[in-house]
A and B are shown apart, each in its own frame.
Chain A
Amino acid sequence: MTADFGIKIEGVSHAYGGGQSGLASGTLALKQTDLLIGHHEFHALLGPSGCGKSTLLYLIGGFIPVQTGSISTQKGPVTAPGPDRSIVFQNFALFPWKTVLENVMYGLQKKGLPEAECREIAQAHIKLVQLGGFEQAYPSQLSGGMQQRAAIARTLAVDPDILLMDEPFGALDAQTRRVMQEELRMIWKKRPKTVVFVTHDVHEAVFLADRISIMSARPGRIEHQIDTGLGPERDESTLTDRRFVELGEQIWRLVREQAVLASRGGL
């Protein structure tokens, strides 16, 4: 298979609550967005709140129909959700009537794996996100951070070609967040996949990603793209790397520019 791209987004506009054309009276969330994400690239998406980051992920996930433009992956144009593009939602979206273990097993069962194997893989991923001992807990018995980790385990367990993550570490404390970042990067190295990682934390983006897109204030568009060029290894030492520090400052300035524009846009 030629592996020249992971996700191709061309001329995508998206309007909420308006007509079908995508340009009628509703809220215009995305405007003429183009983005090419490489095969097995770790791509971070930064931008001011409300600029359409989640919308772009939902479009790639196939949860909302593409109105204008096109989105395609190695498997062809995106038309519906599928297990080749699994997502971690900003609000976790766990199944409240299933235990942590049953939540993580769900996607594996859908793959048709034998029950024992589902259990084994699920348990390994629960350990990975440091939820060992909470297999039998229901989501409503967990803190926000724990729910978020359960959701991450559920998505990682199915090992999708494309991993979509919407501020997945947002509800975690600084300590756990650091650990999860390193774990995620490690998993990605072990089982390469195309990752689109939405965050508002500039340093998280630089630490994790190979490439970073900065979106404009709403209606969102890709305003800047930057290669981090930090190499495949990321660990403690990355944080003090001169390039890491410089990139952080440079990107922070670009993001702030857009955030200022967003606030001027009067919301």
Chain B
Amino acid sequence: MSTLSALLKREGLMQALVLAGLALVWEASSRAGWVHPFLLPPLSDVLVRLFTDMQSGAVFVDLGLTLYRALTGFVIAAVLAVPLGILMARKRGVQWFFDPLISIGFPMPKIAFVPIFILWFDIYDTSKVIMITFSCFFPIVTATYSGTSHIDKWPLWSARSLGASENQLLREIILPLAAPSILTGLQIALPVGMITTIVTEMLMGGSGVGGAMIAAGRFADSVGVFAGIMEIAILGMVVIRALDRLRARLLVWHPENRAH
């Protein structure tokens, strides 16, 4: 056990070293003039920019807007897709109606709908959030449907013979049993939602990390563009880690959370 944690610590250290090494190579390559600093500005310049933008608060406005759009779209998608996925698994009629629509919709490149949404709604938050919801919806509904339809009948029968009504089954038994699959669906949808947020911001403008990057690009501000990429990387990592934590907390009962 202690050797395992030591090994894990060592592995974490190695990973940090690799990242530090890459950062050094980045810094050195533009400082030494191997690549033109306009194409790849030194890491230190990018970090300085991030720092000054943090001091002025500009970063937090952009990050906040991006996060707000991404999470709003993601949560709306979850609220719609989880119940629909469960209903599809439990009611033949619902499955019959939605299955073909989802089969068509899932593989479709959602970004192709941007012009339509701009036409129908606006270029502001409404159509951005709708785009994000639209792209998060399919992975969540598919994972929920598949997880719910593979539930064993035994816990359901147990609950019924212990006095649960048909309606209580849904919330008290089926939802927790499908939770691992639902969470997997959410974990797949979240990065999709983040990507969609940045791309729609780039296409439609307005503030937010994506919009700021496009603006920086227009002004030939390559340090600004790279600062945007760093922001996206950090935001993405934080949000995805947070969801991993949530999964571990919700599924404490699951063998996946027992290392030994």
Q: Answer yes or no: A138 CB below 8 A from chain B CBs.
A: yes
Whole-angstrom CA separation of A93 from B162 in the bound complex: 12
Q: B163 contacts which of A63, A82, A97 (Cβ < 8 Å)?
A: A82
Nearest-CB distance from B167 to chain A (Å)? 12
Whole-angstrom CA separation of A164 from B188 in the bound complex: 43
What would be 26 A-B contacts, judged by CB atoms less than 8 Å apart? A61-B157, A80-B160, A81-B160, A81-B161, A87-B158, A87-B161, A89-B158, A93-B154, A93-B155, A95-B155, A95-B159, A95-B176, A96-B254, A97-B179, A97-B254, A98-B253, A107-B162, A110-B163, A110-B164, A111-B163, A138-B253, A139-B253, A140-B255, A154-B162, A155-B161, A155-B162
Q: List 9 other contacts, CB 8 Å, given A93-B155, A97-B253, A140-B255.
A: A58-B157, A63-B157, A82-B163, A86-B162, A95-B173, A95-B176, A99-B253, A110-B164, A140-B254
A211 cross-chain contacts in B, Cβ below 8 A:
none
Q: Answer yes or no: A141 CB below 8 A from chain B CBs.
A: yes
Report the interface size class on chain B: 20 to 34
Which residues of B are interface residues toward A (Cβ below 8 A)? 152-155, 157-164, 168, 173, 176-177, 179, 251-255, 258
Q: Which residue of B lies closest to A99 (CB)?
A: B253
**Interface residues of A, dominant DSSP:** loop
Q: B159 contacts which of A97, A106, A111 (Cβ < 8 Å)?
A: A106
Q: Answer yes or no: A208 CB below 8 A from chain B CBs.
A: no
Q: Which residue of A lies closest to B168 (CB)?
A: A110
Nearest-CB distance from A131 to chain B (Å)? 17
Beta-carbon contact of A89 and B177 below 8 Å: no
Nearest-CB distance from B172 to chain A (Å)? 8
Beta-carbon contact of B159 and A61 below 8 Å: no
Beta-carbon contact of A82 and B161 below 8 Å: yes
Q: Which residue of A lies closest to B251 (CB)?
A: A97
B153 cross-chain contacts in A, Cβ below 8 A:
63
A141 cross-chain contacts in B, Cβ below 8 A:
258
Known: A91-B154, A93-B155, A98-B253. A86 touches B161 (CB 8 A): yes
Nearest-CB distance from B255 to chain A (Å)? 5
Whole-angstrom CA separation of A107 from B163 in the bound complex: 6
Q: Answer yes or no: A221 CB below 8 A from chain B CBs.
A: no
